[in-house]
Amino acid sequence: MTKLHIKKGDMVYVNAGNDKGKTGKVLEVITKKDRAIVEGVNMVSKHTKPNSKHPQGGIIKREAGVHISNLQVVDPVKGGATKIGRRVNEDGKIVRYAKKSGEEIK
């Protein structure tokens, strides 16, 4: 398994597909399929039976996965898409940083 450049909670920019140009927060990362679920991106209609959560049932709009290769992290300082690098900080921990601004990504 490879290390991914995206984590849950990151703000990401979609650089390919029907939702190209949109930004959103990563809700979930599915490592086995190399996909991420991004808030408000790649909305699909899901048919559901009535249950306790949705007593009426019917068609519900929800997010589907977007492939990791189509996402880039948004730079915390300059904004816009940026590449991600890894480096060792003063504490000896490996941290991700934005290559555009050099700022550490929390």
Q: Quick one: which of 66, 14, 82 has its CA closest to 102?
A: 82
Give the domain range for residue 36: 11-98
Average pLDDT over residues 67-89: 93
Assess if residue 1 is contained within a domain. Answer: no
Please state, as a whole number, how many other Cβ atoms lie within 10 Å of the Cβ of residue 86: 10
Assess if residue 27 is contained within a domain. Answer: yes
Assess if residue 104 is contained within a domain. Answer: no
| pLDDT beyond 70 at 1 | no
DSSP 8-state class, residue 104: B
Spatial distance between the Cα atoms of 18 and 41, rounded to a whole number of angstroms? 9
| pLDDT beyond 90 at 2 | no
Spatial distance between the Cα atoms of 89 and 105, rounded to a whole number of angstroms? 12
pTM above 0.75, yes or no: yes
| pLDDT beyond 80 at 45 | yes
Question: What band does 79 get if pLDDT is binned at 50, 70 and 90?
Answer: confident
Contact (Cβ atoms closer than 8 angstroms) between residue 101 and residue 95: no
- How many domains does the chain divide into? 1
